[in-house]
Each structure stands twice: as structure tokens, then as C-alpha cells.
A and B are shown apart, each in its own frame.
Chain A
Amino acid sequence: ILNVEQSPQSLHVQEGDSTNFTCSFPSSNFYALHWYRWETAKSPEALFVMTLNGDEKKKGQISATLNTKEGYSYLYIKGSQPEDSATYLCAFTTGNQFYFGTGTSLTVIP
């Protein structure tokens, strides 16, 4: 079983603050790294799929970077809004199975 770790476990920020979380994964047998956004009472939705070392992806005010050599990815949210409140999951894949972290729960306080 591969270990995917996310930190912090939870985060409370004020509206307008920028924030970032970390996903750590094994640096061997890397195929892709996924980020998902999971709102309460909904199902996870894909944010990014990252495959190359040094990849940087952006969607609105959310961006992510990838370092496959050291096995980590950062997710950044610039100017958090209350609607950004959700659990952010990362998933490491070897090309077959997906190994999910336990997520970072973000609460943005208005």
C-alpha cells in the first residue's frame, strides 16, 4: 500500500487570504498526480491532473505545482472565498490504482 500524505489536515482562513496545502507521495513509479475538490454532501470533482515534473496548472484562483523527484505537490488558493470551502484531495497513481490522501479540509470564514 502506497502512502499519500496531505497537510495540514484542516485549515481555517479569512476571506481574501491566500493559502496552500501539500501532498506528499512516493517518488518512484510515478504516473500522475490528481487534485480533487470535495464539497460537503457532493462527490469529489477533478481540479487538475499533473504528469510532468515541474508542471504548473491553474484554474481561476487555484493553482498547483508538481515535483516528482522529491515527491510533492502544492495546491495554492489566491484570495480565498467562502465558496472555496471544501476538502481538497490529492491522488497519486502508478497508472493503475489511485492512492488518495485523507485530504485538507479548508474553511473560509467570511
Chain B
Amino acid sequence: DSGVTQTPKHLITATGQRVTLRCSPRSGDLSVYWYQQSLDQGLQFLIQYYNGEERAKGNILERFSAQQFPDLHSELNLSSLELGDSALYFCASSGQLRSPLHFGNGTRLTVT
């Protein structure tokens, strides 16, 4: 158990809809990272938060947004969903800069 909790595990929704993915980092970890894994693709970095502030941005679409709350949990909001947004979305957390990432079990999003 990595200590990182992601909910929900599965999400099925229609095109044009909006969903929110939630992540609770491992106790004590200040950094939260969001990754997307589409079919036959590697892990694509979306965004990182550190102690409530956005730290780095990757290939995140404008339709997507995220935030980290004072209790350090994070939410990834995906709006105007398209079929191509169907993917496995991972959250990971870390402590010190050289610490490894601890991954949640992911949320599988299916857009129909």
C-alpha cells in the first residue's frame, strides 16, 4: 500500500461532461503529481502541486484544471470531455526532492 488514495477507481461518462478526480497524498508528502496514461502511451505528466501551490505544468489541456487544498488533497477537474480523454489517471505524491514518487491505484476514465 503506497498510502496514496485515489477516488473513484472507475468513471464512465459521456462526451461534453465534466468530472472530478480526487487524490489524497501519503501522510507527510507535500507534493502531488498528476499523470495521464492513454492506450499504448507512457505516463504523461500533467501538473504538480507543492503545499497548495502549482509548481510545474506539463501537457495539460486547457479543459483540465487542478488544485491542491490546505489539507493537501488534490483534485483534477476534466471538462468538456472528449473520447480521447479516456485514460488511466494517476496521482503520485512525494516528500523530499530526492524521494521516490508514491503512486495511487489510478482512476480509469471512460468517455463514451
Contacts and interface: CB of A to CB of B under 8 A. Distances in A.
Contact of A95 (B41, B42, B97, B105): B97
Give the contact-size bracket for chain B: 20 to 34
Contacts of A51: 98
A67 to B, nearest CB: 18
B56 A97 contact: yes
A109 interface: no
Describe B's contact surface by its main secondary structure.
loop
A95 B105 CA distance: 24
Interface residues of A, number: 22
Contacts of B98: 31-32, 49, 51
A46 B93 CA distance: 12
B99 A43 contact: no
Interface of A: 31-32, 34, 36, 42-46, 49, 51, 89, 91, 95-103
Interface of B: 2, 33, 35, 41-43, 45, 48, 55-56, 58, 90, 92, 97-106
Nearest 10 CB-CB pairs, A to B? A46-B100, A102-B42, A43-B103, A100-B43, A97-B56, A44-B103, A43-B105, A32-B98, A49-B100, A96-B56
